[in-house]
Amino acid sequence: MKKSIASLLFCFTFFVNAQEIIIDSLEIKTDTIVYNKNLDISEVRTFKSNLNEKYKGKDFKYTEELQEKKDSSTLDLGILNFFVFFMQSIFPFLLGGFIIFLILKTVLGFDAKFWKTSKKSKKLTDKLIYENEDIHELNLEELLKQALENKNFRLAIRYYYLTSLKSLSNRELIEYHKDKTNSEYLFEIKNAEIRNQFSYLSYVYSYVWYGEFPVDETSFAIAQNKYQSFLKNLI
């Protein structure tokens, strides 16, 4: 019994001492602040007088870099807009003109060297021949014969075209007037087959006469055959 009491006292003493050791080890150290009442805090601090000079270098000029990037972006956008405008508004017309030229060259065998011009006075004379005359007052058969004898194929195509107009007018398929356009004549022709044939012949005439395409004997023979076939169908 005495041994049991002694053991209990020993355990109690051990746990009490251990608790004191743990508490001492968990004690938190608190920092202290020393306040000096004699310190003057009214002094105002200012920037150094040469601060602007110090930061004037190229390394500190950020606005120029931003402006350069902005100008570069504007230039790229302008190029892109021009490319889009060209593809949408100009390129289709260039492509259409090129296709028309290929058709004329293939069908009529026009010489691709159309930029070679003849004498200016001769062109002017040809263009003014009977431009303002009434086709019903002209002897187109005789004029056509003279053009063929002189191998003036451009002028011959013009007379074939005027002969076609005269035949259409004589058959009352159109109402001829020297100031009318080909489009107006086409609108007046009700027969679809005749209208399509005359549309092609008008197309050939416009490019040969007003476009001033040179016509050799071979290409003229093709055009002549088209006009003669058209006139034969109108009889």
- What band does 207 get if pLDDT is binned at 50, 70 and 90? confident
In this prediction, residues 187-215 reach a mean pLDDT of 90
Q: Is the pLDDT of residue 102 over 90?
A: no
pLDDT of residue 90: 76
* Mean pLDDT along residues 144-154: 93
Q: How many domains does the chain have?
A: 2
130 with 221, same domain? yes
**Is residue 95 domain-shared with residue 132, that is, in the same domain?**
no
Query: Per-residue pLDDT for 130 more than 70?
Result: no
What is the distance between the alpha carbons of residues 160 and 7, in angstroms, rounded to a whole number? 144
Q: Residue 222 falls within a domain, yes or no?
A: yes
Q: Which domain holds residue 83?
A: 56-108
- Which comes out higher in pLDDT, residue 91 or 204? 204
Look-up of token digits 């005439």:
205
Quick check: helix, strand or coil at residue 20?
helix
Q: Is 125 in the same domain as 230?
A: yes
Identify whether residues 125 and 221 lie together within a single domain. Answer: yes
**Global pTM?**
0.47
The sign of the dihedral angle between the CA atoms of 218, 224, 230, 235 is: negative
Q: Is residue 148 part of a domain?
A: yes
- Measured CA to CA, the distance from residue 153 to residue 208 in angstroms comes to 9
Of 161 and 23, more confident: 161
Summarised one tens digit per residue, pLDDT across range 169-180 is 999 999 988 888
Question: Residue 26: what residue type?
Answer: L
**Euclidean distance between CA atoms 173 and 189, whole angstroms:** 6
215 domain residue, yes or no? yes
Measured between alpha carbons, how far is 99 from 208 in angstroms, rounded to an integer? Answer: 16
Tokens 């053991």, located at residue: 7
Q: Decide if 159 is inside a domain.
A: yes
Most confident by average pLDDT, 44-58, 92-106, 185-199 = 185-199
Residues 216 and 196 in one domain: yes
The pLDDT, as a whole number, for residue 159 is: 94
Q: Give the chain's mean pLDDT.
A: 72
CA nearest to 201, candidates 144, 172, 162, 152: 162
